[in-house]
Structure 1
Amino acid sequence: MPKNKRLIFFLIMAGTLLAIPYIAMQFSSEVAWTRFDFIIAGVFLFVLVFLAELILRNISLKKYRYLLLAALIFIFLLIWLELSVGIFNTPFAGS
Structure 2
Amino acid sequence: MKNNRPLKIVIVVALLLLIPLIAMQLTDEVTWSVFDFLVAAIILLSAGFILDLILRKVKSTLYRIAFSIALLILLLLVWAELAVGIFGTFIGGY
Q: Which runs of 5+ in 1 are unaligned?
A: none
Could you say which residue in structure 1 is the equivalent of 2:35?
A: 36
Give the SS at the match of 2:22.
helix
Q: CA deviation at 1:7?
A: 3.9
Q: Which runs of 5+ in 2 are unaligned?
A: none
Inter-partner Cα distance in structure 2 for 1:90 and 1:18: 25
Identity of aligned residues (%): 43
TM-score (ref. length: structure 2): 0.91
Could you say which residue in structure 2 is the equivalent of 1:21?
A: 20
1:76 maps onto 2:64 in alignment: no
How many residues of Structure 1 are paired with residues of Structure 2 in the alignment?
A: 94
* Cα distance change of structure 1 residues 3 and 80 upon mapping to structure 2, 3 Å threshold: farther
| Structure 1 stretches of at least 4 aligned residues deviating more than 2 Å after TM superposition | 2-11
What is the root-mean-square deviation of aligned Cα atoms in Å?
A: 1.6
Q: CA deviation at 1:50?
A: 0.3
Q: CA deviation at 1:71?
A: 0.4
Could you say which residue in structure 1 is the equivalent of 2:9?
A: 10
